[in-house]
Structure 1
């Protein structure tokens, strides 16, 4: 999506000042939106022409070489006609990049817009549950090093598991022995100085 400041807050002026290539595309899609969902409110946000009911439902972007129709809850819509060609992996916003309207399945787009409006009346889906990562095994090399450095061991024990994991992954994924030893030396020095992994270069 376009995150630049909006060039205007007037939808008519926004259309009038669209790039030459995408202006006719945006004009046509805007006409469709008026006909298909006349109850939607038109506004400008983040340089996009937005259509809202309870919340923003659809927006229209104008670019130098294409136009784009964005569906704010596209990840929840059944895109049977496979219109989405941008942001397919997103749980939320998905888009349709357009260079021409000739090959666009207009009936499918209309159905998608109607479905998006109907979805706007429903609560948003809860975010997917966080996947708990498996605990990273303590590298024997690091365990041995901590036994010999009580100051480093004490600070390591005080760290949250996330910060401990950073050190364990860094030391444990080294392939060559010289790399392992270099990382262990840097780790013990940083831990003894009370530094987290991201701060180890400050020692």
Structure 2
């Protein structure tokens, strides 16, 4: 049986008195359900690892404790919405947790997910809305068709880099200088950060 991490013993000893039995209970159930689980500290909190992946973790705060599964949505199901921290909300006593049999069944489910290499889906990246092109930059681009064509052909992120660079100028002279430089670079087909692009 893997040794228990003494840092977690110390963590439980430092926790508020109400939290100590909660953390001890949860830790015991995790070990009882998954005897070869490994203990560690991640993000300053006791964490349990199994089959090469994070399984679950627990934490103690001033007025509550928490326990949660790394793959919360997969373990708790579609209706397993997080209520506060962890998978079971704010815990102030052992009674706030599901019964032992239920909790062990959930831990077993998390164990199987790790053993089968199931990963959680990455959160989709939200595209930032395009920035409005300031009138003075639009006017300068219209005066140089080659620069305007380059600007229109750029990806939204490349256009944003030029627009933000112009908008960040604090003084009018700096802004005009940046617009002139932007038009010159775009006439040559260069993105804003062309100096850093690996050729």
TM-score range, shorter chain: 0.5 to 0.7
Question: TM-score, with normalisation over the residues of structure 2?
Answer: 0.61
2:64 maps to which residue?
66
Cα pair distance change 1:102/1:132, threshold 3 Å: closer
Answer yes or no: is 1:50 the counterpart of 2:51: no
Instruction: Output the CA distance in 1 between the equivalents of 2:145 and 2:6.
Output: 63
Structure 1 segments unaligned to the other structure (5+ residues): 1-7, 88-93, 172-184, 197-203
How far 1:59 sits from its partner (Å)?
1.2
1:79 maps to which residue?
77
Q: Greater CA deviation, 40-49 or 162-171? A: 162-171
Output the aligned Cα RMSD. 4.4
1:16 maps to which residue?
13
Instruction: Output the CA distance in 2 between the equivalents of 1:151 and 1:168.
Output: 17
1:111 maps to which residue?
105
Question: TM-score, with normalisation over the residues of structure 1?
Answer: 0.60
Name the structure where helix makes up a greater proportion of residues.
2
How far 1:165 sits from its partner (Å)?
3.7
Cα pair distance change 1:186/1:108, threshold 3 Å: farther
Structure 2 segments unaligned to the other structure (5+ residues): 167-172, 186-191, 193-199
Helix, strand or coil: the match of 1:10? helix
Instruction: Output the CA distance in 2 between the equivalents of 1:146 and 1:133.
Output: 23
Cα pair distance change 1:126/1:31, threshold 3 Å: closer
Cα pair distance change 1:108/1:187, threshold 3 Å: farther
Cα pair distance change 1:167/1:25, threshold 3 Å: same
Task: Tell me how many residue pairs correspond in the alignment.
Answer: 173
- Structure 1 residues 68-99: Cα deviation after superposition (integer angstroms, max 9, x where no partner): 11211213223377473246xxxxxx543312
2:181 maps to which residue?
193
Helix, strand or coil: the match of 1:38? coil
